[in-house]
Amino acid sequence: MALSPSKADRLWCARAGREGDGLNADYIVFGRPSFGPDEIEAVVQTLRSGWVGTGPRTREFEHRFAEYVGSRYAVAVGSCTAALHISMLAAGIGAGDEVITTPLTFAATANAILHAGASPVFADVSRQTMNLDSSRVEAAITPRTRAIIPVHLAGRPCEMTALLEIAKRHKLLVLEDAAHAIEAWYRGRKIGTFGNASCFSFYVTKNMSTIEGGMLCTDDQSIADKARGLALHGMSADAWARFSDRGYRHYEVTQPGFKYNMTDVQAALGLCQLPKLNAWLERRRQIWARYDELFADLPCQRPAPEEPDTVHARHLYTLLIDPPSAKINRDQVMAFLHERGVGTGVHYRSLHLHRYYREQFGYRAEDYLNAYWIGERTVSLPLSPSLTDREVERIGQAVRDVFRK
């Protein structure tokens, strides 16, 4: 079923990235999405079909995505943030509960805990893997702890055996934030099948994109049913069920839900992108290997090797720039690369030092020292499968030149 993107398709994507309104033709945008003729055709077909809201394509995408992950249920939503929010509500997490997660994540992970009415509690990460350190998770557990949200940062699977064992011993739920980890595996099992629920992102920079979009996967029918209701105002029937050619049906509002549904236009993109994941992962592996080769002798830390018996989803290639050895800091590296026409990203400055979290919870840098240390040093390079070999070499040379200055 794997449809590998043809070379022409890849080149088309690369060119398309250069022709966008307002984009400098030579600038290599960080996180460039791979949309080609297939995606355009799928969107046009959907627009022509007469049904663009949540409908048959969304159902089909849910079905295919559940199959891909190996979960019993999948609920398509407007974002991973929405999936995180309703997965917590559907699992019964709310006021008075504490949820443990990493501070080295995008704000959405912890914001969603707050939106569910619970309190985020951070546990520090490992400097090597940049993922939650399970011993710190255990130390953060209190009588109010209800759940752990492991984030598979950059596509690297968390230590699921240890985390599941802790969760079992303390009777905690596990909700995976798999925003970066669509293709990842851990010890023969797909990431996204370990938790009571798991949440994926199809945001533009992610390994596959529906522009905005997310998926909640679960084996628990009760979580799936509640999440489906919560994603659409708490209604008992979606628009397809009410207005399609099968005739109108009444609905009941069974709870005050949210407007988190995915549209069929987004789902059409998802259906196009899903079969390309394997080929794209292979291309990102090639780029990753080339970066590893090009940067082997530079005074910066490259990503740790893939752990045995795991598949890393290769979402982000991050370098750690430590000023004493590099003689330059992360922000200077980013400015230099920008001048050379290479866009970069930061994943992430530790969340405990962002103003809201600092002021609300009184955090200091040293509270999560590893996350702070990484957050001050990390820079992510472009890793899109649509990068041409020439672009990869240009990025590599620009990074090498940073350290020659």
Ligand X SMILES: Cc1ncc(COP(=O)(O)O)c(C=O)c1O
Residues tagged active-site: 206
The rounded distance, in Å, linking the Cα atoms of 234 and 86 is 11
Pairing mode, if any, of strands 185-186 and 310-311? antiparallel
Residue carrying the six token digits 């590099």: 326
Q: How far is the CB of 391 from ligand X (least distance, A)?
A: 23
Q: How far is the CB of 282 from ligand X (least distance, A)?
A: 22
**Quick one: 146 or 206, whose CB is closer to ligand X?**
206
**Quick one: 109 or 129, whose CB is closer to ligand X?**
109
Q: What angle do CA 196, 197, 201 make, to 5 degrees?
A: 160
**Quick one: 177 or 220, whose CB is closer to ligand X?**
177
**Quick one: 203 or 336, whose CB is closer to ligand X?**
203
The rounded distance, in Å, linking the Cα atoms of 79 and 140 is 28
**Quick one: 182 or 398, whose CB is closer to ligand X?**
182
Tokens for 349? 């400055």
Q: How far is the CB of 152 from ligand X (least distance, A)?
A: 8
Residues at the site binding ligand X, with contacts judged by CB under 6 A: 79-81, 105-106, 108-109, 151, 177, 179-180, 201, 203, 214
Q: How far is the CB of 33 from ligand X (least distance, A)?
A: 13
Q: How far is the CB of 371 from ligand X (least distance, A)?
A: 13
